């Protein structure tokens, strides 16, 4: 049975790849894409989500726009990494599909409440504002969700400060709500996603599929490589967000460690840090875990195959 997921994202070059992996893999049933202000403004990332679906030729996945900015703080975007549009480096098609008109928070709540308990997985790949809002508006979702598998945080690494990762640092109060709700949370942190590097060889492998979509992805990677080299000192860009979907397709491609994880919201130097307590084996009731080692070849094979499947007009 395919896993039913909602992808809550801020596309974003790597968010776009996460969408394509979810769309092109038969083990994933993408019930909807919800958007959140993050890499760029809500307006821009929502347009990008619709444009990526258009590029993939898929018009059956609803897109719902969510919160413009964090619960407490001002929105901080990442134009240095993702450009002015949030998806710089490609000519985006004009979307023919429109947003649902339902707020993302309500789409999330209604989808969870309308489905059997234990069947819906939330996959956040941006700041956690929509998810926190949904928890506060309808607390029953916490016990009904199967699990939350999110890209964010770092156990020993930061990218938006010395110790904090962007998605968590943009809205640490929301992250605090999400990590402290008693549902199962799997954190796919920078420690893991920095292994998912798009080398020129992996990119050529995707490009060699030879479809307009594979070329689109390759152009996204060209831009991501350039901006990651200029801003973050990387040779090849880490493609963070599809690691969440890959975990759901095949958890055996990662190693997982259980540990209590909480969010720093007050530190002068450490705000947005995901603090994992590694001092002892996790207590039996620990509901948080993180991924730490990736089988890189199998990960890129999943991405490649998904893009190939969509090119073949896979009906989903």
Cα–Cα distance for residue pair 277/260, rounded to 1 Å = 6
* Interface of this chain with ligand PIR, residues 41 to 70, rule: CB under 6 A: none
Q: Which of 75, 78, 155, 181 binds ligand PIR (CB under 6 A)?
A: 78
Q: Which of 8, 55, 165, 191 is in the footprint of ligand PIR by CB under 6 A?
A: 165
Size of site (CB under 6 A) for ligand PIR: 16
Of 7, 12, 191, 227, the one binding Ca ion by CB under 5 A? 12
Residue selected from 34, 64, 129, 159 as contacting ligand PIR according to rule CB under 6 A: 159
Closest residue by Cα to residue 220 from 6, 52, 61, 73: 52
Residue 125 interacts with Ca ion (CB under 5 A): yes or no: yes
Contacts of 246 (CB under 8 A, 6+ apart): 21, 253, 254, 299, 302, 303
CA distance 121 to 297: 25
CA 147 to chain centre: 14
| Rounded (10°) CA dihedral 255, 145, 158, 233 | 80
As measured in angstroms, the least distance from the Cβ of 12 to ligand PIR is 4
Least distance to Ca ion, CB of residue 15, Å: 4
Q: Where are the alpha helices (DSSP H) in 148-295?
A: 166-170, 172-180, 190-193, 200-207, 212-232, 242-249
Mask of contacts with ligand PIR, 121-150, x by CB under 6 A? ----xx------------------------
Contact 8, 230 (CB under 8 A): no
Rounded CA separation 119/78 (Å) = 33
| CA 58 – CA 50 distance, rounded (Å) | 10
Question: Does 191 interact with ligand PIR (rule: CB under 6 A)?
Answer: no
Q: Which residue among 23, 45, 151, 246 contacts ligand PIR (CB under 6 A)?
A: 151
Does residue 35 belong to the site contacting ligand PIR (CB under 6 A)? no
Which one among 19, 36, 49, 81 touches ligand PIR, defined by CB under 6 A?
81
Q: Is residue 25 near ligand PIR by the rule CB under 6 A?
A: no
Catalytic: which of 13, 176, 240, 304? 240
**Annotation marks residue 240 as catalytic:** yes
Residues 225-254 that bind ligand PIR (CB under 6 A): 232, 240-241
* Closer of 24 and 126 to ligand PIR (Cβ): 126
Q: Which stretch binds ligand PIR (CB under 6 A): 133-141, 160-168, 267-275, 294-302?
A: 160-168
Q: Binding of ligand PIR at residue 169 (CB under 6 A)?
A: no
* HSE (side-chain half, CA atoms, 13 Å) at 201: 4
CA distance 51 to 93: 6
| Residue closest to 197 by CA, chosen among 243, 153, 161, 166 | 243
The Cα 196–Cα 138 span in angstroms is 35
Q: Is 8 in the site for Ca ion (CB under 5 A)?
A: no
Binding positions for ligand PIR, rule: CB under 6 A = 12, 14-15, 39, 78, 81, 125-126, 151, 159, 165-167, 232, 240-241
């Amino acid at each position: 049975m395919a896993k039913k997921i909602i992808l809550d994202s801020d596309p974003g070059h790597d968010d776009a790849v996460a969408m394509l992996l979810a769309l092109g893999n038969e083990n994933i049933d993408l019930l909807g894409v919800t958007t959140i202000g993050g890499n760029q403004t809500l307006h821009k990332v929502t347009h990008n989500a619709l444009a990526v679906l258009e590029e993939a030729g898929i018009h059956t996945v609803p897109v719902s726009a969510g919160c413009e900015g964090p619960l407490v703080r001002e929105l901080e975007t990442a134009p240095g990494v993702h450009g002015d549009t949030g998806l710089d480096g490609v000519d985006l098609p004009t979307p023919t599909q429109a947003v649902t008109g339902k707020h993302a928070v309500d789409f999330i709540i209604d989808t969870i409440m309308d489905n059997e308990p234990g069947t819906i997985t939330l996959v956040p790949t941006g700041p956690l504002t929509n998810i926190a809002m949904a928890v506060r508006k309808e607390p029953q979702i916490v016990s009904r969700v199967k699990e939350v598998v999110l890209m964010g945080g770092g156990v020993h690494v930061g990218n938006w400060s010395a110790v904090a990762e962007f998605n968590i640092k943009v809205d640490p109060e929301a992250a605090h709500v999400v990590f402290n709700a008693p549902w199962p949370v799997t954190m796919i942190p920078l420690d893991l996603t920095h292994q998912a590097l798009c080398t020129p060889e992996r990119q050529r492998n995707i490009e060699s599929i030879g479809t307009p979509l594979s070329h689109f992805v390759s152009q996204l990677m060209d831009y991501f490589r350039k901006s990651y080299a200029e801003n973050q000192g990387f040779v090849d860009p880490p493609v963070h967000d599809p690691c969440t979907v890959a975990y759901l397709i095949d958890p055996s491609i990662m190693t997982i460690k259980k540990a209590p994880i909480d969010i720093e919201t007050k530190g002068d130097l450490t705000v947005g840090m995901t603090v994992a307590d590694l001092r002892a084996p996790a207590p039996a009731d620990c509901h948080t875990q993180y991924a730490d080692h990736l089988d890189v070849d199998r990960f890129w094979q999943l991405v490649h195959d998904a893009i190939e499947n969509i090119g073949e007009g896979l009906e989903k």
